[in-house]
Structure formats: C-alpha cells, structure tokens
Structure 1
Amino acid sequence: MTLFFLLLLVHLVADFYIQRKIWIECKIKHKEKSLGLFKHVLSHFALNAIVLFPFLGLSPLFFGALFTIVLTHYAIDIWKTYQGFYLQSFLIDQSAHVLILALVCAYIAQPDVAQWHAVLSEFTKIHHLIVLAIFLFAWKPLSLIIQLILSGYTEQMHASENAAQSAQQNKGGLTNAGEWIGILERYLVIIFVMLGQFAGVGFLLAAKSVFRFGDMRRQQDRKLTEYIMLGTLFSVTFAILLGLLARYAIGAIDATGTL
C-alpha cells in the first residue's frame, strides 16, 4: 500500500506540477510525435525509477514494473490528445493511470519490502501519504475538474463579456487571485472536516459571502452571481468530500492497522 501511494504521488507531481503548459500544447499539436510528450514521459520514467528502485533493486521485476507504467502512460496520453480537453476524457485518462499503478503494485506485492518500509516508516507513514495525496488532488486536478464542469457556463459569460467590458474596465480583479482563493478555500475546508470542525466550514462560507455578495450586487450581473455561486458550491462540496474521505481512510487505518 505504501508503494502505491508513493507511485500515486509521483503521478500527481509529474502530471500536474512538472509538466509545463508548452508540453501540453505540443502534445495537442503533434500527438504521438510530440517532443513535449517525450519530455513528459521521461519525467515519469525518472521519478518512477527513483521510487521503484529501493523496493525492487535492478531486478527484472523493477524493469517490468517501470516500463509497464511508462509505456501505458505514453499510450494513454496519446489517446487523450485525440479526445479533446473535456471532463469525461480527463476522468478516463486519470482513472486509467491510477488503475495501472494499482495493478502493478498488486503484481509486485509478493517481494519482501519490509526492510525498505522500516527505513522509511517514520517519513512515509500511510497517514501522511494520504493527506499529501488529498491536498495535491485538491489543487490543480480539482481546479481543472471544476473548470470543465463550468465550461458551458463560461461560454455564456464570455458572450456577455464585451457588453460589460466598458463598465468594468477599471474594476478588474487581481491576476490569479480567484484561483488562489479557490485553492485556499478548499484547503481550509478539508482541514476543518478532517479536524471535525464543521462549524469552521460554515464560518468560512459566511465570511466569503459577506465580501462576494456585496461585490456581486454592485456589478448587478445575475449571470456572474450565479456563476460564482456555482463555482463556490462545487469547490466546497468537493473539498468536504475529500476531507471526509481522508478522515475515513485514516480512521480505518487506526481501527484495523491497515487500509
């Protein structure tokens, strides 16, 4: 189980933090011949090798697991470039990657990893890995999911943007401030839920409403009001579910000694 979460963390870091926007654009344009795709797969190769080596050494199982993960990732990403950037293809893509990691870990579960686990037990407790995975997912992956869910409404917002541009030209928001507000909001909600402080979630929503609704009333734009409310509700709902998932997983470990 420890190996699976380490590989999952590698996947999240390589897919959403190391991968650059220019690589993604190159993949979309050149598909399987893309240099960006090669760089992306190379980053997965390096990070997965670092994680797998202490568990398996330079054994046939090591090379089999490494090339299975990397080559399937390459194939899945090629498929993704032909599907377009939609919620359904994104979820299928990510689910397939995680499933491959789970199957690889299930196959190599027989080798003795007790010694390596003992060395890293103080640094890679399963509780810590679960929380880290939850927080990594709540940042960019969840932001992308919410963006895809709201994509239809975003088009409606753009349709009326020109009409309101002259009235709002001096009232623009801070660059990327909305994105950071959403990220911090989800992190706080997850922390409150994991601590069992559900009142803190209510306080956070109330505090945000005081500022948001005053701003939305001044703009007198019903579409913008509904759009912001939808984004906030999706963000908070997903954050609550992630917090509950983390509490359940950690509680199950504490109760049974295993996940």
Structure 2
Amino acid sequence: MILFLKLLLAHIIGDFCFQPDQWVADKRRYKYRSKKLYAHLLIHAIALAIVLGFDPRYLWGFLIILTSHYLLDLAKLYIEKDRHAIWYFSIDQFLHVTLLAIVAYAYEPFFLSFSGLITGPVLLFVTALALAVFVPAVVIRMLIAQWSPETREMPEASLVKAGRFIGILERLFVFIFIITHHWEAVGFLLAAKSIFRFGDLRQGKDRKLTEYVLIGTLLSFGSAILIALAYLYLLPLTIN
C-alpha cells in the first residue's frame, strides 16, 4: 500500500503540480509532436525516480508506468472532445491510477478490506448527506413553482444549471459546517451569497425575482440545517 501511495504522489506531482495550462493547450494542438508532452513525461520520470528512491528493483514498474502514461495521454489527445472534457479527464485519471495500483500490487501485494465499513454511523452519515444535498432541490422546486416569475434575462445571462449546482454546494457546506459545529461559517456563507446574488437582483429592480430567489435560498439553508441537526441527534443512537 505504501508503494501505491508513493506512485500516486508522483502522479499528482506530474499531472497537477507541474503541468501548466499552456502545456495542456500545446499538447492538444500538436498532439504527439508537442514538446510539452515529452517535458510532461520527463517530470513524471523525475517524480517517479525520486519517490522510488532510485531503486533499480522498480525499473520495470518505472518503464511500464511511463509507457502507459504516454499512450493514455496520447489516446486522450486524439479522441477527447471539449463538450465532454470532464468525462475524458475522469476516465483518463481512473486508468492512470488503476495502472499504478496494478504495478504496486505486482511488487507488494495488498488487499483492501471493506469489512466493518458499513456501520450504523457511516450509514447515517451517507443517508443524511444524500438527503441534505439532493432531496431538497426537488422539494423546493415544487414548493416555489407557483411563484416562478417571468424574467427578462437573456438565456446566455446565466450559466446552464448553475442554480442547481449552487444549491447542491451550499447545502453540502451547510451540512458539513453544522455537524462539525461551525455555525459561524453558515452565517458567513449566507452573507457571501447575499452580497453576490441579492445585490445583482436589487440593482435589477426585479422585486418578484428577488423574493423568489430569497425564498428558495432560505428553504435550501433551512432544510440543510434541519437535516444536520437531525443527524447530530440520531448519531448517538447508532453507536453501539
């Protein structure tokens, strides 16, 4: 397991710490002819050599990782599309990490045990988190649908599905803040949203839209708070 973590650290250093956006753009433009692609591989090689302590025992693993990394990056450069970039990125990273795990296992076999993972507290946390993050969006949308205002904003004036993601993130943060007993952070989050969101609405002089957003925000925060408090109340009951 330690070897896998070392390989993962080298991967993070090479793929995220020392890969500027300009390198990514150059790789996308020139593909296999990009000098930045080979500079990227060199950084990976250096990071791998360092974390492996320049130990010759790991030579084959070193070569397999570098070769597979090159081939995966090259394949991604030729098949990825901007429209689904996040999916190509996720698949690419999954394959990289999987190969690292295979190489690490070949040298030092390790096993992941999930026995005892599904306990009462864990189930309660996962259930409460899913309830706080996803369920209120549907309920709130139905509750305030009757007040949905006509807006004069152009479609391009707002990011696609931005409101949904903002709601998910704010409820996630509120839930985490409360179960970790940081109520002041909830107030800061609400104040920050008020400054950025309600300020624009006030300047737009659209009172109905402002009230609509305010109701939705209060319901979103309120639901996350109630679910977090329920989680804290039920948590002692799940601990044997």
TM-score bracket for this pair, using the shorter chain length: 0.5 to 0.7
Distance 2:184 2:6 in 1: 35
Normalising to structure 2: TM-score of the pair? Answer: 0.53
CA distance in 1, matches of 2:102, 2:154: 43
Q: Which residue of 1 aligns with 2:181?
A: 199
CA-CA distance at 1:51 after TM superposition: 1.6
2:157 aligned to which of 151, 155, 160: 160
The within-5 A match list for 1:1-259 is 1-53=1-53, 57-59=55-57, 62-82=58-78, 83-85=80-82, 86-109=85-108, 159-160=156-157, 198-200=180-182, 202-220=183-201
Contact 2:13 2:47 in 1 (8 A): no
Separation in 2, partners of 1:210, 1:219: 14
The one-letter code sitting in structure 2 at the alignment partner of 1:58 is: P
Amino acid at match of 1:10: A
Q: Matches of 2:77 and 2:45 in 1, distance apart?
A: 20
Bigger shift: 202-211 or 21-30? 202-211
**Take 1:24 and 1:9, find their aligned partners in 2: how far apart are those partners?**
20
- Asked if the contact 2:7–2:51 (Cα under 8 Å) also holds between the matched residues in 1, the reply is yes
Q: Distance in 2 between matches of 1:23 and 1:158?
A: 34
Larger radius of gyration: 2
Deviation of 1:215 after TM superposition, in Å, equals 3.0
Deviation at 1:19, TM superposition (A): 0.8
Distance 1:49 1:157 in 2: 54
Q: CA, structure 1 residues 28+58, in 2 after alignment: closer, same or farther (shift >3 Å)?
A: same
TM-score by length of 1: 0.50
What CA deviation, in whole Å up to 9, does each residue of 1:72-94 have, x standing for no partner?
Answer: 01111111212134111011011
Query: Partners in 2 of 1:197 and 1:14 — Cα distance?
Result: 36
SS in 1 for 2:181: helix
What amino acid is the match of 1:206? G
Q: CA deviation at 1:157?
A: 9.2
Secondary structure, in 3 states, of the residue corresponding to 2:99? helix
Q: 1:100 offset after TM fit, Å?
A: 0.6
1:24 and 1:157 map into 2 onto residues whose CA distance is 33
Q: Deviations over 1:167-217 (max 9, x none)?
A: xxxxxxxxxxxxxxxxxx9xxx7xx78xx95222x5423311112223311
Root-mean-square deviation over aligned CA pairs: 3.5
Distance 2:60 2:154 in 1: 49
In the aligned structure 2, how far is the partner of 1:68 from the partner of 1:38? 16
